[in-house]
Structure 1
């Protein structure tokens, strides 16, 4: 039976998006997991994969069209079906079919020309990445007319203080795309000017409007902090042996591993030793897992995302390092797939590379635990013989959901983690 593919909610709290580019063509056979399209939202560009197998019977919208979540975007035909099944599938889905057997795309959202001074520029395009050759642009609407732009282009323009009314869009019908914004030289973006402070007045300031991603982060973390009963367990871990193991691995391994890779492996081992901590709050039940899927916090321009590493317990340290590096690279490029941002029972947030001594993190529901990892630094310690010595110490703090994890379970889990980090040979077996 033919399947009507609808605009997915590729990220939490996203209500609209645009097809940036189709990755499949009409007549192409696709399997579950094959890429169908790049979907652009205010937050990122996410690769969307097929959820059914079959043949792409029809692509219903053009790249650049701004669509609400749930809008039909394509039809995938089952084995043995032909083009004569496209119309009935659309009719069954409640889509009005025109003379060309395809629905009219939803009109894009309009962005009125800016009449006030531009917002402060809070990000610039990465240096050293020349923009690709652009197709011949369609002239932008004249002053007083509406300016059409994709969601991500609007967000980037706001962040960079760029007036989109003065940009020639290269998308369909002159639509302004992300690439059009990135081609605008940083020097041409108006710089914010703070009001001059009169003598004796308070310091001057500028207000930066919230981006879509920052709004989503604020909403989600406020909800977490105010509705989930957090409690915290902290440990100070001697990691000299861990750093020595890393040094030995990197002397011979084809790929360098990081301290964070070893921490992730230790977190996985601790969750296996204390399975009561490998669970999530499920509303009217607690869902317990046998495998270990861990979300890794990755800082990106304007916020952060938490791609999930699957089955960490089955990965060698070298393979784990490669998987984490790939997810982080694609996260920063906005090329994560939807399923890579979903699931997991636990998160790891590492600020050690910034020299942070200690911090606690906010839970990412429905996950019941998140580990905050700080910098490893030389500190005075008391040895087993009572003598004062110097060791490399790393502070880690577990934030736990008390609905799922009791204090005794959290303490048991932390003890298992400390054991693995201080005697890291256990990570190799």
Structure 2
């Protein structure tokens, strides 16, 4: 019975990155032996155990064979005769197919260290195509290690294209797709995830509303980058500088889906794309089973982001209508997130990357002033029923106008 540290922990140790989780492989043991030593069985599909003290995962070395379609269509052999090399062979990338023994020696049968030096994400074997989830995983790794200069090996990208062409992505569950996507969105370079999926054709199956945006033009005056798909990727780059919150980043990703529905004869104008995108966001979010909080913020950003972009041109009554529609009085934190997504959108354009974007500050000031209007004072003046709300709105419009007039001065 021999135990090895494997996978991501070895990879990140060699890259001198923080190690979040440690996974271990046990060679030459049976489930009964593991239980006798106090390990707790947790694996449903194959033998995985929790260490009695550290609670880290220890899996028996195993061989997987494809028996049916999808990422769950595998049979598993976890007998005590399975070797470490056989276990590592089933892994996705060479940089994830290394092990380390208890003395610190690296076991690297598939040249993972060489690929670390070359900064390549390369598949271990042709069995890569048997698991469609690997398309998303490799794209996520490309996003994670982009800052180090890693790229996907051409031959691996070709296998990813084969998986897509064979329709294997359809076999994935929405939960797994969203799980990988959410993790990728929270990386420092989430745009690389979507660019990598697009490069292998993988956006069309699960993200068609996003995929169509490439090639759709915007007015060059406001969007020197012109292409809407390029703009979205730039917005994703910008939002990472502003927020680590999943809902904000998701909203930034999908805020312009309405432009994919603009009739071509109206290009490069996209009048009305704000509301046009609402159903597209709902459809995409339902397909991926996106959390309600992410979906709701995305809908808000889609519908009202141009309001913020035109903040200084808006009437006080229009600003108040937006504040009411966004339910800012009960959810100010969400509204602050909304403004962050708007700022990312404004900066996600060529030559606009570092603009101050005072529009968001102005709208927040309008909210702050309006929030201070004293409802109790209105009631004390004798207003009742619906008249209270009407008078409250009038007072809020008045203080927003005061801000507007002071800004104009």
TM-score tier, shorter chain, comes to under 0.3
1 or 2, which has the higher strand percentage? 1
* RCO higher in structure (CA 8 A, sep ≥6): 1
TM-score, normalised to structure 1, is 0.23
Q: Normalising to structure 2: TM-score of the pair?
A: 0.24
More helix by share: 2
